[in-house]
Amino acid sequence: MLSANPSLIVTSVLTIGVILVNGWTDAPNAIATCVSTRSIRPGRAIIMAAVFNLLGTVVMSLFNQSVAKTIFHMVDFGGNAQEALIALCAAMVAIVLWAVLAWRFGIPTSESHALIAGLSGAAVALHGSFGGINGSEWLKVIYGLILSTFMGFGLGFITTKGVELLFRHSNRRKADSFFRKAQVAGGAAMAFMHGAQDGQKFISVFLIGMFLAQGQSDAGAVGIPVWLMILCAVVMGLGTSIGGYRIIKAVGMDMVRLSCYQGFSSDLSAAVCLLISSVTGIPVSTTHTKTTAIMGVGASGGLKKVNWSIVREMVLTWVLTFPGCGALGFVMAKLFILVFSF
């Protein structure tokens, strides 16, 4: 297909670039706490995250493709297939620009939110109206925001209190040793669920590009080939291996100072929230879920335990991502269509 369709090459390269950036800027959130509590060295944590991202993408895509289908049907790139493909490429460029800017300032932006916003902005530019937005699927994004915020925070708070109650009479040294090991498992679970959520989102973008490059503006039913699952997972893992220490520092060290049992509580809470979201087909941000879980863990010891200035920066980024990346996707799509449509 690539040899017969040059436009598909461009689309594939841009999509791979977005997946790489996701692994680079978003996946480090999964291992932020186990690194910050020194349960595992950064190099080993990054390798672990890359492996479990791969497993999460493949396993969840094989058994439950709800999230991929939600993203696939969220926007309508129908009509002129060539212009639609150009608009999709523009959205990918906008998402990469947004992610790199956020990484530059060490702010853990959500690539999931950026992806949804960039695609929506490009679809609006393509149609000249909001007719290209599927409201019922977009509503799942709102559900995801509410779920990840309140469930993440609530589970973080409750899990921490429960762990403190269960281990209140335990030997401190033995308990620390146990939770140090448990937190490595928690980090692996978070990396697995990151792959399960974000891997499917980017697989759906690949599929949209493949259909448009073949001139099919109305794709109909969607099926995910295994080779595509593996490709997306490997690229995401490569992005994670490149680095991401700035994001790890902002999430795992600057926002709340965590002990091993608190880090384990945040990982467990966020992983459960992501599992529920993935099974029900609700696209949520792993960044948003992990950071709200950490806030809940910190708040369990008193509100003063949380560095609210860092929280404000993160919340501001979340709030700005939808209009900011959406507007960037809109402008880039209009520009690309003007320049490349002939």
Domain boundaries, the chain: 6-340
- pLDDT score recorded for residue 296: 87
- pLDDT score recorded for residue 70: 76
Please state the separation of Cα 330 from the chain's center in Å.
21
- pLDDT score recorded for residue 253: 54
- pLDDT score recorded for residue 100: 76
CA-to-CA dists, residue 214 to 9, 24, 87, angstroms: 12, 30, 15
- pLDDT score recorded for residue 155: 92
User: Residue 38 contacts by C-beta under 8 Å, 6 or more apart in sequence?
Assistant: none
Instruction: Walk along the chain (342 residues) in steps of 10 and give the mean pLDDT of each run.
Output: 69 82 71 78 79 83 74 73 81 83 66 83 85 81 83 90 87 84 88 83 79 64 70 78 61 63 88 87 81 84 70 72 87 85 60
138: left (phi over 0), alpha (psi -120 to 50) or beta: alpha
- pLDDT score recorded for residue 159: 92
User: 199 is written with which tokens?
Assistant: 């891997």
Closest by CA position to 226, among listed 100, 49, 66, 54: 54
Measured CA to CA, the distance from residue 17 to residue 14 in angstroms comes to 5
Helices (H), the chain: 6-25, 28-36, 42-63, 66-72, 81-104, 111-127, 135-146, 152-166, 172-213, 226-242, 245-249, 260-280, 286-299, 308-340
Q: Is the dihedral of CA 252, 255, 256, 262 positive or negative?
A: negative
- pLDDT score recorded for residue 222: 55
Name the pTM for this structure.
0.79
